[in-house]
Structure 1
Amino acid sequence: MILVTGGLGFIGSHIALSLMAHGQEVIIVDNLSNATLQTLERLEYISGMYVPFVKIDIRNTPALNKVFEQYSVEAVIHTAGFKSIEESVLKPLEYYNDNVSCIMSLLRAMQRTGIRTLIHLSSLAVYGQSSLILTEDLPFNYSYPNPYVKSQQMTEEIIRDTALTDSEWKIAILRLCNIAGAFEHGVLGEFVA
């Protein structure tokens, strides 16, 4: 079973749907700060399957531990977090608290339960203002003045440091850019008329 954090958000719901279409069992956790239960209904409608869902804030490590104990989770796809560059300038503490605390809690719960497979969805914004030529080993522009970007950079550094302490971790960081669109029938995702 694969746990999808932020699984009722735009990216998380599409990932969950794709996993189910490929025969994977998923469990979704989401605190509904940027999502609604209507998305869960749509996932079940499209897939024709029951989708286990737990409403929690993954910063609540004891609650997250219970999810890992209750379900046979083998891997995690982490899509939860705040994502607005503009809003982060107005609410920097909220962005640092949400994005950095989420990964800390998630990694602690995974470590405690022996789950060592993680896919973290990050952002191309981690490069800050860089050239158009981007590579995985390009250094981050840490002077880029934006709390969202800095919180994503910190998150990636925390993941890297954690992986260095235990060779059993299997981690991939995917850096995304400007995700948009909808499910082929318009039932899930953005609907543009």
Structure 2
Amino acid sequence: MTVLPIRITGDPVLHTPAKPVTEFDESLKALVADMFETMDKAPGVGLAAPQVGVPLRLFVYSYEHDPAGPQRGVAINPELWLAPTPIGEPDEDAESEGCLSVPGERFALRRSPAARMVAVDLDQQPVEVSASGWFARVLQHEYDHLDGTLYVDRLDFLHARRARKAIAANRWGKPGNAWLPGVDDLEA
């Protein structure tokens, strides 16, 4: 397994909708294994293929704190259904999230409290996951990556302004920026 470089905001692959996975072969298995290795090394709770420069509709996740028990898996060509998102200002403590593609930054974002995901695994077997709370947030965050959306794209005006300043201060926002977990000192 190999740790892959994680693309930073501004790279076109992060801002373009990903394509469906059509080839379920050894190279896909190797990609998924490398994505798990990269996510764990970062450390993160999810990693989408576009974040490692691969424009395919798949992500890996590993969430230890779900009330139903630890959740770890791969979602290939997922579909996601959401409960209504509450209105109002996001809570700075309870609703702040980060992203491996915007490393070191955290901003409050209101998300749906529940999600249902249907996908397939590496063997093209159906995977169905119902999630609530923070695990629902993880699924929404990773699914957004597949549509070319970063969480900073969803922020309200005040938080979006702070995010833009942080991105500019780090000289991100252009193609070619990446970091390597375990080597570079950039943690989300």
TM-score > 0.5 by shorter chain? no
TM-score band (shorter)? under 0.3
Which has the larger share of strand? 2
TM-score, with length taken from structure 1: 0.27
Q: Which has the higher contact order (CA 8 A, sep 6+)?
A: 2
